[in-house]
Amino acid sequence: MGVEVHKELLSSLGLDVAKHAKMMAAGLEGYNKQFLSQPNRPEGMKYFDWFMSEIQGQRMVEINALRAQKKPAVGTFCIFVPEEIVVGAGGSCYGLCGGSPATIADAETELPRNICPLIKSAHGFKLQKTCGYTQSADFIYGETTCEAKKKTWEILGKHHPVHVMNIPHMKRDKDLQMWKEEIEDFKTHIESVTGKKLSLEEMKEGTRIINEKRKAMLRLDALRGMDPDVVPISGKDGLFVTQVGFMDDPVRYTQKVNELCDELEQRVADGVSVFEKDRPRLMVLGTPFAVPNWKLHTAVETTGGVIINEESCIGHRYYKDNVDLEDVKTEDDMMQKLLDRYAKVDCACFTPNMGRTEKIIQMYKDRKADGVIYYTLSFCHTYNVESHLVTEALEKEGIPCLIIESDYSPEDMGQIKTRVEAFLESLAFKKKAKAFKGIS
Amino acid sequence: MYWGVDVGSTYTKITGINADHDVIDFAVIPTIINQDEIVKNYLKDKTVTMLVATGYGRHMIGDALSCPVISEIKAHARGAYFSNHEAQLVIDLGGQDSKVIKLDKSGGFVDFRMNDKCAAGTGKFLEIAANRMGLDLESFSKLGFEADKELTISSMCAVFAESEVISLIAQKESVANICYGVHESIASRLASMARKFASNSEYIIFSGGGALNPFLKHLLSLKLEKKIITPEQPQLVGSLGAALAGAEI
């Protein structure tokens, strides 16, 4: 299996098939090496291993089958896309490739060196024509969450259709009003792809599907981290399942995550852990991890720690809130409820954004975590600057925190491992000291 | 005998201590290839009760010699605390890394900072600059005291900073003044990394090969407005810490 059998479809999408095959082979090799070698993985991971092998094969077939029926395929880089609308229209909404260092050199022919690796990697995928998702997209959904993205859309727009949604940076009433209009515009744009008006019932159905998906992801999040004695799944597997949530068909995905969660629930009941007891349990805060960015999780979990959740866009920030469908009678109600949900997203693009800090402290207490790693991609100014306020608040609460800023290149792996190792040593020491009951 | 080996990017340091924790033996060997063989050879005829590896090559030694490993941060904290029980802060300047480690009252570390992958502010930069001047590190590190002008190097990047040094040479600036500028740039970086912790630390230990540089120590002390203590063999602090950790197992 894999991309070979789908060569014809991929080439019809304008992909550079040879280069793409090479990249996929490297990606799969990295996955197999880092994931399949983990001990005692849950059976339920088999589906996600299969998904990885078909990430740009079978999934491309499915997306393009929808397109053949004039259903929209929307590529995104941000969790502000009202995917409920896309799914309501019967289409597919997915995250685009943007986590590999292999496309960055190409991107730098059009973009400056010192902007974030996610944008550069994603832009490079378009220039190289090596991402099936990008090539399948009817349009790319851009937003105004940071300066670099905002300007990149203008350049990317020369290579692929882009629809930009203006996300405000404050949450005052006048900002929210504008935001609601943006959601309405987005719906109109989707209708222009399908050629027909989207009904209220369709939007509700799309919302139900996405609500269920987010509920399943939240369930997984709780199973990963709420019981301090059992780690039923590695953080790396947990992260990958979350990453797949941005690519897979939402109905099938929800079912598979729930199946995995049933198994994990049983594991928690039986005390089946993938790691030895007393490993320091860490939360990761900050910027998203696009496939195949598994660098930090690998560094932590091969060094004696475990990551129990990601307070990230590919993580808790995405699935923590749902759209309340109760009392939705008109299209305007629907738009308002969508806005209510999206306005709860605590992205660092907002000022002020104190809700995020409060959430992190609560999450830390609920999960009885041992420490946090504040992770930011290089040049991600909002999250990077916000780290000062967040870590200051964490320090006040006595929460141990390590800040790591990195990009996709492998060259700082040594330094990251040293820092993580030292951080884990200090946490293990504190954990031991806390458990010490004196000498009787 | 308890041994600690610290495989750094430039030098590999080996320290041996006895049961009373007296330093009995040590070596500083340039890090080249097959470091595990070199370490094995060095220890061949010696009594090895325990060996602990640290430094960026710690896992390679750990795998090759089946010994436990500890991070440099922990090793430097232990070594520095051993050399001075009043130590509250360690500033370590190695070939490739620089770090600042805050200690608790019993020598455990409570917090630390480390440079990212950038080489500015590390020993490597001093070495590049000294090479440009055609000087060895030892003579280069003393010349700063003779400067009569406070030159600054403004580049954030070691590669561009080297170009700046080259243009200063072309402008016929004196070697002593250029030396001042290079040291000033590194001391500024170290000081800004250390400032947060240094403000409430009285005893600051300077370790690593960089601490052998008297002018750098002088500038660092001026910038932090603190007295800085250099152990007798600052480059051995990490390997000593590893040996001590082994003696306590």
Note the pLDDT tens digit of each residue in A284-327.
Answer: 999 999 999 999 999 999 999 999 999 999 999 999 999 999 99
Model pLDDT, residue B32: 87
Q: Which residues pair with A5 in a beta bridge?
A: none
Distance from CA of A293 to the nearest CA of B (A): 18
d(CA A108, CA A117): 10
Which has the higher per-residue pLDDT, B138 or A252?
A252
Contacts of A88 (CB under 8 A, 6+ apart): A198, A202, A203, A204, A205, A206, A207
pLDDT band, very low/low/confident/very high, at A2 (cuts 50, 70, 90) = low
Per-position DSSP letters for A60-126, written without gaps between them: HHHHHHHHHTT--EEEESSTTS-HHHHHHTT-EEEEPP---GGGHHHHTTTS-SSS-HHHHHHHHHH
The model's pLDDT over B73-107, given as tens digits with 9 standing for 90+, comes to 999 999 999 999 999 999 999 888 899 999 988 88
Could you tell me which residues of chain A have a Cβ less than 8 Å from any Cβ in chain B?
405-406, 411-412, 414-415, 418-419, 421-422, 425-426, 429
Identify the closest residue of chain B to A420 by CA–CA distance: B71
ipTM of this complex prediction, to 2 decimal places: 0.78
What integer best gives the mean pLDDT of chain A? 95
Place of tokens 């220890």: B43
d(CA A296, CA A408): 10
A235-249, A256-270, B39-53: lowest mean pLDDT where? B39-53
pLDDT band, very low/low/confident/very high, at B115 (cuts 50, 70, 90) = confident
Which has the higher per-residue pLDDT, B138 or A408?
A408
Side by side, the strands of the sheet bearing B23-30 are B23-30, B11-17, B2-7, B50-54
Contact B39, B12 (CB under 8 A): yes
The model's pLDDT over A371-414, given as tens digits with 9 standing for 90+, comes to 999 999 999 999 999 999 999 999 999 999 999 999 999 888 88
pLDDT at A109 exceeding the cut of 80: yes
How many residues in total does chain B contain? 249
Per CB-CB distance under 8 Å, the chain B contacts of A405 are 116
d(CA A66, CA A62): 7
The model's pLDDT over A158-180, given as tens digits with 9 standing for 90+, comes to 999 999 999 999 999 999 999 99
CB neighbours of residue B248 within 10 Å: 11
Question: Do B74 and A422 count as a contact with CB atoms less than 8 A apart?
Answer: yes
The model's pLDDT over A206-221, given as tens digits with 9 standing for 90+, comes to 999 999 999 999 999 9
Sort A440 into a burial class: Cβ within 10 Å, 0-12 / 13-18 / 19+. Answer: exposed
Per CB-CB distance under 8 Å, the chain A contacts of B70 are 425
Question: Do B117 and A412 count as a contact with CB atoms less than 8 A apart?
Answer: yes
Question: Do B56 and A405 count as a contact with CB atoms less than 8 A apart?
Answer: no
Distance from CA of A122 to the nearest CA of B (A): 23
Task: Give the CA count within 13 Å in the CB-facing half-sphere of A229.
Answer: 6
Place of tokens 């990017």: B9
Identify the closest residue of chain A to B107 by CA–CA distance: A426
Question: Do A426 and B70 count as a contact with CB atoms less than 8 A apart?
Answer: no
Percentage of residues of chain B with pLDDT beyond 90: 62
Model pLDDT, residue A3: 62
Model pLDDT, residue A440: 47
A77-91, A407-421, A426-440, B149-163: lowest mean pLDDT where? A426-440
Model pLDDT, residue B158: 74
Q: What tokens were used for A312? A: 């990230």
Model pLDDT, residue A1: 46
Q: What tokens were used for A177? A: 């009003």
Nearest to A418 among B56, B108, B110 (CB): B56
Per CB-CB distance under 8 Å, the chain A contacts of B56 are 414, 418
Identify the closest residue of chain A to B108 by CA–CA distance: A426
pLDDT at A72 exceeding the cut of 90: yes
pLDDT at B198 exceeding the cut of 90: no
Model pLDDT, residue A437: 63
Identify the closest residue of chain B to A412 by CA–CA distance: B117
Q: What tokens were used for A270? A: 């039986």
Contact A299, A143 (CB under 8 A): no
Sort A174 into a burial class: Cβ within 10 Å, 0-12 / 13-18 / 19+. Answer: exposed
Using CB atoms and an 8 Å cut-off, which of residues 188-207 of chain B contact chain A?
Answer: none
Question: Rounded to the nearest 10 degrees, what angle do helices A235-244 and A45-53 cross at?
Answer: 60
The model's pLDDT over A25-65, given as tens digits with 9 standing for 90+, comes to 999 999 999 999 999 999 999 999 999 999 999 999 999 99
Per CB-CB distance under 8 Å, the chain A contacts of B54 are none
Per CB-CB distance under 8 Å, the chain B contacts of A406 are 116
B117, B157, B193, B197: best mutation site toward chain A, by most A Cβ within 10 Å? B117
Per CB-CB distance under 8 Å, the chain B contacts of A300 are none
pLDDT at A91 exceeding the cut of 70: yes
Identify the closest residue of chain A to B99 by CA–CA distance: A419
Q: What tokens were used for A113? A: 């060196």
- Determine the average pLDDT of the residues in A280-285: 97
For the entire predicted model, the pTM comes to 0.89
What integer best gives the mean pLDDT of chain B? 90
